[in-house]
Structure 1
Amino acid sequence: MYPAMRKLFFTDCRCAGDLGKTYEELFAKLDTNKDGKVDISELKAGLAAIGIQPGQGAVQKIISSADKNKDDVLDFKEFAKYLKEHEKKLRLTFKTLDKNKDGQVDYMEIQQSFADLGLEITKEDAKKILQSIDSDGTMSLDWNEWRAHFLLNPATSLQEIIRYWKHSTVLDIGDSLTIPDEFTEEEKTTGLWWKQLMSGAVAGAVSRTGTAPLDRMKVFMQVHASKSNNISLTGGFKQMLKEGGVTSLWRGNGINILTEVSPQYKKLLASEPGKIQTHERFMAGSLAGATAQTAIYPMEVMKTRLTLRKTGQYSGMFDCAKKILQKEGVKAFYKGYVPNILGIIPYAGIDLAVYESLKNFWLSKYAKETANPGVLVLLGCGTISSTCGQLASYPLALIRTRMQAQASLEGSEQLPMGRMVQKILEKEGFFGLYRGILPNFMKVIPAVSISYVVYENMRSSLGI
């Protein structure tokens, strides 16, 4: 499809040293005014001149990805670095398509790659895609053909490339091809989405149940621990066991499970589907967390009250809600809301941004044969990102919990957020804002591990 590109780059197998020269040659062709810079108009015109018709927004996407100093133009160093990184991503995607690892991709492997994403296409459509890239007419693609076709196409992942194929070859695979992280188009149209949703919900419920004692210990220490009583992890568990027995360790877990929700702003905020920048990840995580917490916050208040309740104080969730409403009014269900929302911004934002940045860093540095990082890498990314989020937001979480609980504690002074922070700093110092963080950290790895194991087993049992 791109004979000029192929002639310029890939008629021979080039070594790494030759690539720098070919990058220079291509840059010189694009830099029409010879000022050592390529702007968006030059890139558009240059690509058209060598026979490449990029998709809508593709040229701007190349500029945005490669322009490290944000001056809206590319110098040769930025251009060459972008092409080098882009080639590595294309290589991983090519290897993913090459199912039998023979260095060639045929139409059956393209058809299978669609099927792996839950999308069914006909043999004719798969051949149509192949022919759009196959420059030598062999009905198979080698790495050079693949690289020539996609080098100046910003699509890299299989999802992005399939989206490009859908629009460029007019494949009939649904009204619109949106392949989010969770649900493919096929899953939406065939009803598989509910199985995915069920798998995630069960995984979250089991994970929260498994780590509920640590979660209750965290809340207990946030509210009751101080310099004067010096409640430790072991001492706190002993107190809870003495007061209510073993089952008391799971107080508040029922409503905790109900709060297991996760709205997905990530795909809505991405400037390009399947491509999201770090600042967009931060916004997406923050907005998702804030929206979820606003909707479920009354349950969070009840969770805190039920978690801290003494034996016989409430008979259940509805009794708790009734008593709070009668004694304190509707406003009580939003006590601690301000520090809660303020805490969601650093936690959800940093958690999501760090997780995806770590995953993408691993892929760019260490991925050789596949674009799938694997279980251990994902668990590591999840653990580190969650820890970073907690460190940033924990003081606000502690203030929120104390404000939620203070009306139910005998003799407790009803303090606003600012005064409460001041009082904690005066009496307990800075580290008083981190009471209970140890059990909070202790539950991260088991929570992530339990979630993953249950999720994969649920998917398998539901036939996904």
Structure 2
Amino acid sequence: YLFDLEINSIDWGCVLDIGDSLTIPDEFTEEEKTTGVWWKQLAAGAMAGAVSRTGTAPLDRMKVFMQVHGSKTNKISLVGGFKQMIKEGGVSSLWRGNGTNVLKIAPETAIKFMAYEQYKKMLSSEGGKVQTHERFIAGSLAGATAQTAIYPMEVMKTRLTLRKTGQYSGMFDCAKKILKKEGMKAFYKGYVPNILGIIPYAGIDLAVYESLKNAWLARYAKDTANPGILVLLACGTISSTCGQLASYPLALIRTRMQAAASIEGSEQVTMNHLVKKILEKEGFFGLYRGILPNFMKVIPAVSISYVVYEYMRTGLGISK
């Protein structure tokens, strides 16, 4: 009974997409795997993520813009930042980098799901229930595996998001210029803080989600162990926000390392040097630049994802 709840609860993972990859992948029953429903769930989730990311792309670009260009001496406001972007490249420039951000959903989802299944088999006993800590470990490893595979796309997404008019004609032109000018290693700049960020994000996300869900069940559940999709979405939104808050400094360091060579041709800095530099020049809150637009996109992103996911479920014939 409780195991069924655990299976149903993870369904929010298909729906929730706030522009940053979720660490704990979706869980599917054996029946869903044998009947082929799992790929429909993943397809519906991928489409929901694509529409959601496109809808909130201007806020995502503003976040990256603030992370890289913002400082104590160059304070960027939301309105001022948007005006600057539109003046430089027109309204369409607000969606720079979104194509790559959407394209990486499919390979990342597929790799994460397949890796998660393999890691679960390695960690759990034969035929036994997968424990929460095993899900956390398997999910973290699956997230790291997927990120390693698609990380060059993450670097290109950052470069394309920050590009000036005429700098790159598209994703392939961007890849070609990075390879020619900086070499293969440039595609993995910021990789270490990115992987390190998975642990606090995954741990807090899962712990807060489980705590909120169980607290709701203890207080309101009478005849059911399934809180319902809206409650699960609320729990997932809060838990992901908490996870992002904890891992945000590492995300900012990653983005600055990815962008460093293309912005000002500055010396290539290490993660430790960059953290020290930010703390000295901007203080602790310098590690959280751009977090306002990041949080502003959470509710619209979740809302769009939920609506699109429900339409996709109906279109693909997935029963409730």
How high is the TM-score relative to the length of structure 2? 0.84
Q: Compared with structure 1, are the counterparts of its residues 259 and 357 closer, same or farther at alpha carbon in structure 2 (3 Å cutoff)?
A: farther
Which amino acid counterpart does residue 277 of structure 2 have in structure 1? K
The aligned counterpart of 2:150 is 296
Distance 1:349 1:386 in 2: 10
Q: CA deviation at 1:372?
A: 2.0
Alignment identity in percent?
A: 82
Q: Does 1:276 align with 2:131?
A: yes
Q: CA deviation at 1:297?
A: 0.6
- Counterpart selection for 2:39 from 194, 212, 220: 194
Aligned structure 1 segments of 4 or more residues deviating by more than 6 angstroms? none
Which amino acid counterpart does residue 131 of structure 2 have in structure 1? I
**SS of residue paired to 2:164:** coil
CA contact (8 A) 1:285 1:349 kept: no
- After superposition, give the CA deviation of every residue in 1:381-403 in whole Å (9 maximum; x if it has no partner): 11211111111111111011000
Q: Compared with structure 1, are the counterparts of its residues 428 and 206 closer, same or farther at alpha carbon in structure 2 (3 Å cutoff)?
A: same
- After superposition, give the CA deviation of every residue in 1:320-353 in whole Å (9 maximum; x if it has no partner): 0000000000000001111111112111232133
Q: Does 1:226 align with 2:67?
A: no
Q: Does 1:332 align with 2:183?
A: no
Q: Compared with structure 1, are the counterparts of its residues 383 and 187 closer, same or farther at alpha carbon in structure 2 (3 Å cutoff)?
A: closer
CA contact (8 A) 1:358 1:381 kept: yes
The aligned counterpart of 2:224 is 370
Distance 1:343 1:333 in 2: 18
Distance 1:328 1:392 in 2: 32
How high is the TM-score relative to the length of structure 1? 0.59
The aligned counterpart of 2:247 is 393
Q: Is there any run of 5+ residues in structure 1 with no aligned partner, and where? A: 1-92, 94-155, 161-179
| Root mean square deviation, CA, Å | 2.1
Q: How does 1:167-178 map to 2 (within 5 A)?
A: none
Q: How does 1:24-63 map to 2 (within 5 A)?
A: none
CA contact (8 A) 1:208 1:256 kept: yes
**SS of residue paired to 1:290:** helix
The aligned counterpart of 2:175 is 321
Distance 2:311 2:94 in 1: 27
Distance 1:355 1:303 in 2: 29
Computing the radius of gyration over CA atoms, which structure comes out larger, 1 or 2? 1
Q: CA deviation at 1:360?
A: 2.7
- Counterpart selection for 1:419 from 273, 287, 310: 273
CA contact (8 A) 1:281 1:352 kept: no
- After superposition, give the CA deviation of every residue in 1:227-276 in whole Å (9 maximum; x if it has no partner): 10111111111111111111111111111012223424385445675452
The aligned counterpart of 1:209 is 54
How many residues were matched structurally? Answer: 290
- Counterpart selection for 1:235 from 73, 76, 80: 80
Q: CA deviation at 1:456?
A: 1.4
The aligned counterpart of 2:210 is 356
CA contact (8 A) 1:216 1:250 kept: yes
CA contact (8 A) 1:282 1:350 kept: no
**SS of residue paired to 2:304:** helix
Q: Compared with structure 1, are the counterparts of its residues 159 and 344 closer, same or farther at alpha carbon in structure 2 (3 Å cutoff)?
A: closer
CA contact (8 A) 1:286 1:346 kept: no
Which amino acid counterpart does residue 184 of structure 1 have in structure 2? T
Which amino acid counterpart does residue 252 of structure 1 have in structure 2? G
CA contact (8 A) 1:227 1:428 kept: yes
**SS of residue paired to 1:315:** coil
Structure with a larger share of its residues in helix: 2
Distance 1:219 1:459 in 2: 32
Distance 2:168 2:28 in 1: 40
Q: CA deviation at 1:217?
A: 0.6
The aligned counterpart of 2:103 is 258
- After superposition, give the CA deviation of every residue in 1:97-137 in whole Å (9 maximum; x if it has no partner): xxxxxxxxxxxxxxxxxxxxxxxxxxxxxxxxxxxxxxxxx
